[in-house]
Structure 1
Amino acid sequence: MWFDLSFDVLSNIFSFLSPDSLARASSVCHHWHTCVQLHSLPSTSHYHLPWFLALPTRNRSLSCYVQNPVTANWHVLSLDFLPDPPRPVTTIGNLLLLRPTNSTLLRLGLCNPFTRKFKYLPILNIARTNPAVGLVVSPAQHSMFPDFRVYVAGGLSEVPCGGATYERTLEMYDSRHDKWQIMGPMPVEFAVRLTVWTPNESVYTNGVLYWMTSARAYSVMGLDIRLSTWRELSVPMADRLEFAALMQRNGRLTLVGGGTCVGGACVWELNENEGEGDWWLIEKVPIEMGLKLLGGRAKWESTKCVGSDGVICLYREIGSGMIMWRDGGGSKWEWIWVDGCCLVHNVAIKGLLLHPTLALSCMLN
């Protein structure tokens, strides 16, 4: 009976499975394997939490660690199919946007670590070192592999007489056309700050692409995509924060930051209806969880944060555990503690959140 089910019916049933259960289902028979591999399954993000993926930042090994939020188990995932050790940039749907670590010039690529597929994006029109990278994804919710645009701002470029200068242009990659184009000039002061003081994480909301910068005190740089205009936003308690990160929550720009002088870690949301925008304090990390995350340390400065699809995670090294703030249904969000990976200890990581898929992507062909 199961063998006679059409791909449409079978894929709808499979869409309710977690990625690990889906992987086991794909090994049952050729018919099921073909359905998982070739058919566009409905997005499982409606039913399951994203997985936490941790990439080491120091040894740049060709492996990473992933946590299944359903079973709470950690797994080692080999990345030996990549041409070079990767540095993660962000996630695009079910894919990772990466750059190699063996070159100072920016080169971007896409990969699915679960199907072991990889593809380089075309080379930029202007060779740049350390620019800010921003991502705008199509709002279409039905597609597992949506259209997207990558924006590259600033960076250092070589000059004919030798040396380097700050690149004062904005460049954009459109996945629909698979090519880069120069979008125009940008203010030199923004080019400098995005090159020197930006960790590359970006957030897109309400038509504006935002980056956090940390020059002396934290501030936010914003690019209005439609108007091609730049602006700067202040950050609450900017000179007292030991860490700060941007993300999107319920369509609003959200800031997570903290420090000893501000009494722990806090969550703010930007109210864009009041002139230049005003930050509202909406939540604080529970004190006992904050102390557990710090492990007896007094400083928050090495804390990192990542958010996606109704989940915000605060983490440090891979073995120290994480604090998760997640959508508990309706308007209720809940704080939970997530144990760290026992497979390795005291390894600095970059964390990402994504929904794994075993479906093939035309972007990687």
Structure 2
Amino acid sequence: MWNNLPSDLLSNVFSYLPPHSLARAMVTCRHWHDCGRSTTSRHQHPPWFVALPTRTRNLCFVHNPIESTWHLLGLKHVPSLTRPVSTIPGHGLILFKSTGSVPVQLSVCDPFTGRFRHLPQLQKPRTNPAVGVIEVCPSRCKIYVAGGMSEAESGGAASYEPTLEMFDSRSDNWTIIGSMPVEFAVRLTVWTPNESVYSRGVLYWMTSARAYSIMGFDMSSNKWKELNVPMGDTLEFAAMVPRDGKLAVIGGTHDGNVLVWELGEDDKWNVIERMPAELGKRFVGGSTKCVGIEGGVCLYKEIAKEMVMWRRDGNHKNKWEWYSIEGCNQISGKRLENYPIKGLFLHPNLACSSSFF
């Protein structure tokens, strides 16, 4: 029966499979492989957590939330002088940028297939700009770079680059779309760890030094604005996360109190959630980091240590729950070293990533 199914019908069936099951189905035969390549997921599966060691290159640990298992992937095609910036979640891609004093080079990699590609060179050569991502639709995304250090003129000193430019995956090129205050360029270059959140027409970045603050670029007006972070001068850690299309901030104080604020219509912050006290006391302090995606947030420290998830309940759209997961300390029975990591979220998608390659 399966051999006689039309390709479009088989692709529809495949669209309801979670990523790991789709991958298994695609190795069955050429027909199933071709159908799987053209499949776009229609059922919202929980995002996968990706852990990239910050000191050991070419390794990638991924957590399957459906089976609660860890897997080790190799990133042999990713150059050593790069570091992860963020993900393009719906496309299943990790976005990297080059390190060092040379003009920045951005690249994308599908960790599940190993496909890797450098993006075209920027219009303005710059080092260490802030990077942001907006997913327009399943087949299109836009990547933004803001600030950074421009190359020195002959005999002169390097300066901050007060411009913003955008890469469109549809046209496959960069365009300068506006200017920015020099003081914003300085802060985005020096104090921004690159995670961005897009909400209601504004692309936001947060500074990484206390007191925390947020800078946003309004797409409709081409204007910049600044927001204070609630309790920004007292938080031990803070991070922006998207939640139901709105901008949220999660942060923790030295006494283990972890709160979530949501930005209201009038640019005022409202407390919407508190982490259970028994979890908060274990996660505030030290090297606590946080990353978020629509539908999920993770607090983490190192690859082998316990992590805390805050995720939408699959059976109740408006209900979110806190729970802990074990870190990755062994794979296939082999014990692993503990690593400091950069955590990211993505939805494995074997079809959407093809728009980049």
The correspondence for 2:319, drawn from 332, 340, 344, is 332
> Offset at 1:215?
4.2
Contact 1:203–1:248 (Cα < 8 Å) also in 2: yes
> Offset at 1:102?
6.0
Specify the alignment match of 1:13 in structure 2: 13
Amino acid at match of 2:49: F
Specify the alignment match of 2:51 in structure 1: 54
Specify the alignment match of 1:192 in structure 2: 186
Specify the alignment match of 1:284 in structure 2: 274
Specify the alignment match of 2:124 in structure 1: 126
Deviates more, 1:153-162 or 1:202-211: 153-162
Amino acid at match of 2:338: N
Specify the alignment match of 1:180 in structure 2: 174
Amino acid at match of 2:118: Y
Specify the alignment match of 2:143 in structure 1: 150
Amino acid at match of 1:64: C
Query: For 2:127, what is the secondary structure of its paired residue?
Result: coil
Specify the alignment match of 2:68 in structure 1: 72
Q: Name the CA distance, whole Å, in 1 between partners of 2:95 and 2:291.
A: 15
Contact 1:62–1:85 (Cα < 8 Å) also in 2: no
Contact 1:26–1:36 (Cα < 8 Å) also in 2: yes
Deviation string 1:197-252 (CA, Å, 9 cap, x unpaired) is 11111101100010001344101101101111111101111110111111110111
Q: Name the CA distance, whole Å, in 2 between partners of 1:323 and 1:178.
A: 38
Specify the alignment match of 1:302 in structure 2: 287
Q: Name the CA distance, whole Å, in 2 between partners of 1:124 and 1:238.
A: 33
Contact 2:40–2:351 (Cα < 8 Å) also in 1: no
> Offset at 1:345?
4.0
Q: 5 Å matches for 1:26-65?
A: 26-37=26-37, 39=38, 41-44=39-42, 46-59=43-56, 61-65=57-61
> Offset at 1:81?
2.4
> Residues 268 and 230 of structure 1: is their aligned pair in 2 closer, same or farther, counting only changes over 3 Å?
same
Contact 1:321–1:337 (Cα < 8 Å) also in 2: yes
> Offset at 1:33?
1.8
Contact 2:40–2:352 (Cα < 8 Å) also in 1: no
Contact 1:257–1:266 (Cα < 8 Å) also in 2: yes
Query: For 2:280, what is the secondary structure of its paired residue?
Result: helix
Query: For 2:126, what is the secondary structure of its paired residue?
Result: coil
Contact 1:118–1:364 (Cα < 8 Å) also in 2: no
Specify the alignment match of 1:243 in structure 2: 237
Specify the alignment match of 1:109 in structure 2: 107
Q: Name the CA distance, whole Å, in 2 between partners of 1:91 and 1:99.
A: 12
Specify the alignment match of 2:333 in structure 1: none
- Structure 1 residues without counterparts, runs of 5 or longer: none
Query: For 1:260, what is the secondary structure of its paired residue?
Result: coil
> Offset at 1:301?
4.6
Q: Name the CA distance, whole Å, in 2 between partners of 1:22 and 1:43.
A: 10
Amino acid at match of 2:166: M
> Residues 301 and 192 of structure 1: is their aligned pair in 2 closer, same or farther, counting only changes over 3 Å?
farther
Deviates more, 1:97-106 or 1:46-55: 97-106
- Structure 2 residues without counterparts, runs of 5 or longer: 331-335
Residue 90 (str. 1) matches residue 86 (str. 2): yes
Contact 1:109–1:118 (Cα < 8 Å) also in 2: yes
> Offset at 1:152?
1.0
Specify the alignment match of 1:342 in structure 2: 329
> Residues 223 and 216 of structure 1: is their aligned pair in 2 closer, same or farther, counting only changes over 3 Å?
same
Contact 1:243–1:301 (Cα < 8 Å) also in 2: no
Q: Name the CA distance, whole Å, in 1 between partners of 2:277 and 2:337.
A: 24
Amino acid at match of 1:158: E
Give the CA RMSD over aligned residues.
1.8
Amino acid at match of 1:48: H
Residue 318 (str. 1) matches residue 303 (str. 2): yes
> Offset at 1:47?
3.4
Residue 234 (str. 1) matches residue 228 (str. 2): yes
Q: Name the CA distance, whole Å, in 2 between partners of 1:75 and 1:156.
A: 38
TM-score of the superposed pair, with normalisation by structure 2: 0.92
Where do 4+ consecutive residues of structure 1 move more than 6 Å?
A: none
Query: For 1:307, what is the secondary structure of its paired residue?
Result: strand
Amino acid at match of 1:177: S
The correspondence for 2:343, drawn from 324, 329, 351, is 351
> Offset at 1:82?
2.5
The correspondence for 2:258, drawn from 254, 262, 265, is 265
TM-score of the superposed pair, with normalisation by structure 1: 0.90
Contact 1:84–1:101 (Cα < 8 Å) also in 2: no
